[in-house]
Amino acid sequence: MDDTKFPAFPALVRAVSAPKTKPEYLDELHTFVDMFCGIGGFHQAAASFGMKCVFASDIDEEARKTYAHNFGIVPVGDISRIRAEDVPDHDLFCAGFPCQPFSIIGKRQGFSDMRGTLFFEIIRILKVKRPKAVLLENVKQLKTADKGAIIARMTKELRDLDYCVDSKILNALDYGLPQKRERVLIVATLAPFDKFPWPKGDKPMKPLSEILEKKPDGKFFVSDRIRKSRLATHKSEFKPSIWHENKSGNISSYPYSCALRAGASYNYLLVNGERRLTPREMHRLQGFPDSFEIISTDSQARKQAGNAVPVPLVVAGIEGILNAIRSSETSRRSKSA
For 263-293, how does the pLDDT look when each residue is reduced to its tens digit (9 = 90+)? Answer: 878 888 999 999 999 999 999 999 999 999 9
The pTM assigned to this predicted structure is 0.87
Q: Say how far apart CA 203 and CA 209 lie, in whole Å.
A: 17
Q: Is 164 an active-site residue?
A: no
For 102-111, how does the pLDDT look when each residue is reduced to its tens digit (9 = 90+)? Answer: 544 445 454 5
* pLDDT for res 17: 35
Instruction: Name the residue with higher pLDDT: 309 or 327.
Output: 309
Do residues 63 and 38 lie in contact, with contact meaning Cβ atoms separated by under 8 Å?
A: yes
* pLDDT for res 39: 98
Do residues 276 and 269 lie in contact, with contact meaning Cβ atoms separated by under 8 Å?
A: yes
Q: Average pLDDT of the chain? A: 87
Q: Residue 327 pLDDT more than 70?
A: yes
For 176-200, how does the pLDDT look when each residue is reduced to its tens digit (9 = 90+)? Answer: 999 999 999 999 999 999 999 999 9
Instruction: Name the residue with higher pLDDT: 262 or 178.
Output: 178
Q: Residue 20 pLDDT more than 80?
A: no
* pLDDT for res 6: 37
Domains of the chain with CATH codes: 3-205+310-336 (3.40.50.150), 208-306 (3.90.120)
Which of 53, 99, 164, 258 is catalytic? The answer is 99
Q: Residue 114 pLDDT more than 70?
A: no
Do residues 102 and 144 lie in contact, with contact meaning Cβ atoms separated by under 8 Å?
A: no
